[in-house]
Amino acid sequence: MEVLRERISQASHITVLSGAGMSTESGIPDFRSTGGLWTEDTARMEAMSRSYFLSNPHQFWPKFKELFQMKMSGQYEPNSGHTFLASLEKQGKHVDIFTQNIDGLHKKAGSQHVYELHGSIQTAACPSCQAVYDLPYLLKEEVPVCQRIS
């Protein structure tokens, strides 16, 4: 730990790879470990795929909202790991965070250079015209429909 502490102290640019383990301390269950959401029902993984969405949008959206409801509720807060990375930026370090998480907790903690590799639960884009819709719109409509195309 002392070597890690020293390297962080001396670094001006830090790159972080973040995954499900980062957000479990905030109370968000991961997907793949024992008891994870995918292990409870493997059909969920297929139902969350792009191909399923494109071929079954009216079935996709209710399943998506049910599965991710806990992340949409806004009850989760950044934990000490998220706030630690944000604090490094406040100290003047350039911190790039590449995350698989879609929960938005790195940004909520204050990190500026966050690359959400699987997107974010906060927005969705129309696959045809790329119009972006925010979470309140997605929650308001049972099956969100692009306003530009409909």
For 37, the 3-state DSSP assignment is helix
Residue 80, domain CATH: 3.40.50.1220
**What does the pLDDT read at residue 34?**
57
Sequence-distant (≥ 6) Cβ neighbours of residue 134 within 8 angstroms? 122, 123
Q: Which residue type is seen at 38?
A: W
Question: Domain count of the chain?
Answer: 1
Whether 58 is a known active-site residue: answer no
From CA 124, how far away is CA 130, in angstroms rounded?
9
Return the structure tokens found at 132. 């972006």
Count of positions (residues) in the chain: 150
Stretch 34-63: mean pLDDT: 74
pLDDT at 32: 60
- Contact residues for 142 (Cβ-Cβ < 8 A; gap 6+): 61, 62
Instruction: Retrieve residue 55's tokens.
Output: 């071929």
Contact 81, 25 (CB under 8 A): yes
Structural domain includes residue 110: yes
Q: How confident is the model at residue 99 (pLDDT cuts 50, 70, 90)?
A: very high
103 φ, ψ to 5°? -80, -15
Identify the active-site residue in 13, 94, 113, 118: 118
Average pLDDT over residues 26-36: 68
The reported pLDDT for the residue numbered 127 is 86
Residue 101 lies in a domain: yes
Residue 15, pLDDT > 90, answer: yes
pLDDT on residue 20: 83
Residue 32 domain boundaries: 2-122
Taking all residues of the chain, what is their mean pLDDT, rounded to a whole number? 85
- Asked whether the whole model's pTM tops 0.85, one would answer no
In a domain? residue 150: no
